[in-house]
Structure 1
Amino acid sequence: MIQSMTAFARAEHASAQGTLSWEIRSVNHRYLEPHLRLPENFRDLEGAVREALRQGLSRGKVECTLRFTEEGSSKPLQVDGERARQLIAAAEQVASLMASPAPLDPFAVLAWPGVLGGDSSDPQALNAQALTLFGEALEQLRNGRSREGAELARLIGERLDAMSTEVAQLREQVPQMLALQRQKIIDRCAEMALDVDSPRLEQELVLLAQKSDVAEELDRLNTHVSEVRRVLKSGGAAGRRLDFLMQELNREANTLGSKAFDPRSTQAAVNLKVLIEQMREQVQNIE
């Protein structure tokens, strides 16, 4: 199944120790680029979170934010006196080396990790809960990317159908356009009193037909359209391959436009380029 790179997920878990919540946002990017925002007490999770992202996603800029609200309504604050004294002594030692040190702020001491806390909590248990919760949020994100990927595949499929119709109509019209162009040249020669039966004129008409022959471009367009359908059906990380196919489709449409000799073939080339550009914009969001 095709996956989009754009999605959002949020998962929350409340326990006796507090409330954990994960928010994951992903947008399109050439590679997998994770950005993690973790509270200081959860920094140990960074490696596991990055590995989970690497296993679960292939591409996208992914922002992961963890928030933890400690349950403290009925829990008295506790100050680690020994740690505070050590911190103050260290600060005073540094201050003695300075000419005019600023007074020590008690709130700065309280903000130091390990000085102020509530009841003792199990950091390993919290980390385990946070990692499990991240797995749930990541699964939500993958489901969201799958839903949007299915919609992108549908939109691209509609444009592929329109391209196939455009190519089939142009293929049917080419013989008529060539005959009309040939007749215009013959009529023009007759107006100028030129010998319309000369071998030279026949050679020129043959060359015109060869230069105006777009059968090869139409065949390649159909081949690329079929390949895009196959890739969409196969699913997986197909964004880069689809982007390459859009370039190839655009190349054939450009060649078709350069060989245009009739307003109908010119319009067909323009219509194809519009459809390809619409698909290319959608492909940029595919993983």
Structure 2
Amino acid sequence: MAASSRVHSMTAFARAEQVAPFGTLQVEIRSVNQRYLEPHFRLPDALRDLEPTLRETLRTRLARGKVECSLRFEATEAHQAPAVNAKRLKEIADALAAIQQQVPSAVPPTTLALLNQPGVMETQHLDQEAITSAAKALFDQALDELIDARAREGEKLAVMITTRLAAVSEQVATVRSLLPQILERQRRLLLERLEVAKTDLDPQRLEAELVLVAQKADVDEELDRLTAHVDEVSRQLKQKGPKGRRLDFLMQELNREANTLSSKSVVAETTRCAVELKVLIEQMREQIQNIE
């Protein structure tokens, strides 16, 4: 099956049931987030041999998640309860009647003794091949429903992440727009301190101090990396196949840049933006924990 570009959540539930002449089959699959694929199966003894096949099917369709699969089978009453073989019972009865004519003193057998005669009681044999085939098909159906549910949930997660990415970009743009004012303010404050201190610096020393202030307040590089990471997250959301681990790594990188921005902040405006960035990144990270 070709990998889908849709975002898939790891949290979902699916249930499928089939009623057939041989009995009732029921499949339930539930999954939650997990770093790797961790399947667990509960199968009836009659279908225990089917587990390797179902496990391989699951492995080819899912990449991550703790997945619990439960398969139940209940045979119809006709296949559960023993029945009397009327033909065999009549044969035995005819034989007993003939013996009774020949030996009138013979004691007739009890009903229980008759039932214990070979071939009198029988159970209908289950068509194991038909049951196995139906169980496989039902498991595939439930797995399809689970994947569809994971995709629907994933679409909601993608919308929430995209919304927060836009908010991150807004904060980056805000800080970038403030940079000229911040640098000018820092320059003015330095000059005011020098004026208050009545300290005269030679032009070269003054220029060096201004450069140092500018370097401390300059966060262009961090803003560029934040923008690059935001673009990469958007690109990954559109990629085919599992993407949760890559997105989780990008959240770490975004958080790293937000921390650097916070540490280099010299005014309240950039501090507030850095805090808001970290809140947005943490919200995205929590959502991404559920993405396959």
Counterpart contact for 2:13–2:31, Cα < 8 Å: yes
Gaps of 5+ in 1: 80-115
TM-score normalised to structure 2 length: 0.83
Matched position secondary structure for 2:81:
coil
Does the alignment pair 1:152 with 2:146? no
**AA matched with 1:68:** F
Change in Cα spacing, 1:67 to 1:272, as seen in structure 2 (3 Å) is: same
Does the alignment pair 1:44 with 2:49? yes
Alignment counterpart, residue 206 of structure 1, candidates 203, 211, 215: 211
TM-score normalised to structure 1 length: 0.84
Does the alignment pair 1:123 with 2:114? no
In structure 2, C-alpha distance between the alignment counterparts of 1:192 and 1:74, rounded to whole Å:
101
Task: Measure how far apart 1:181 and its partner are.
Answer: 1.4
Change in Cα spacing, 1:75 to 1:279, as seen in structure 2 (3 Å) is: closer
Gaps of 5+ in 2: 1-5, 85-120
Alignment counterpart, residue 215 of structure 1, candidates 197, 200, 220: 220
**AA matched with 2:197:** M
Task: Measure how far apart 1:201 and its partner are.
Answer: 2.5
In structure 1, C-alpha distance between the alignment counterparts of 2:130 and 2:41, rounded to whole Å:
20
Structure 1 runs of 4+ off > 6 angstroms? none
Question: Could you give the per-residue CA deviations for residues 81-126 of structure 1, whole angstroms, max 9, x where no partner exists?
Answer: xxxxxxxxxxxxxxxxxxxxxxxxxxxxxxxxxxx99421111110
- Which residue is 1:96 aligned to? none
- Which residue is 2:263 aligned to? 258
Task: Measure how far apart 1:199 and its partner are.
Answer: 2.7
Identity %: 56
- Which residue is 2:169 aligned to? 164
In structure 2, C-alpha distance between the alignment counterparts of 1:244 and 1:22, rounded to whole Å:
35
Counterpart contact for 1:186–1:196, Cα < 8 Å: no
Give the stretch that moved more between structures: 240-249 or 181-190.
181-190
Counterpart contact for 1:72–1:118, Cα < 8 Å: no
Matched position secondary structure for 1:234:
coil
Change in Cα spacing, 1:182 to 1:24, as seen in structure 2 (3 Å) is: same
Q: Please tell me the root mean square deviation across aligned C-alpha atoms, in Å.
A: 1.7
Task: Measure how far apart 1:73 and its partner are.
Answer: 6.0
Change in Cα spacing, 1:51 to 1:78, as seen in structure 2 (3 Å) is: farther
In structure 2, C-alpha distance between the alignment counterparts of 1:122 and 1:262, rounded to whole Å:
78
Task: Measure how far apart 1:76 and its partner are.
Answer: 3.1
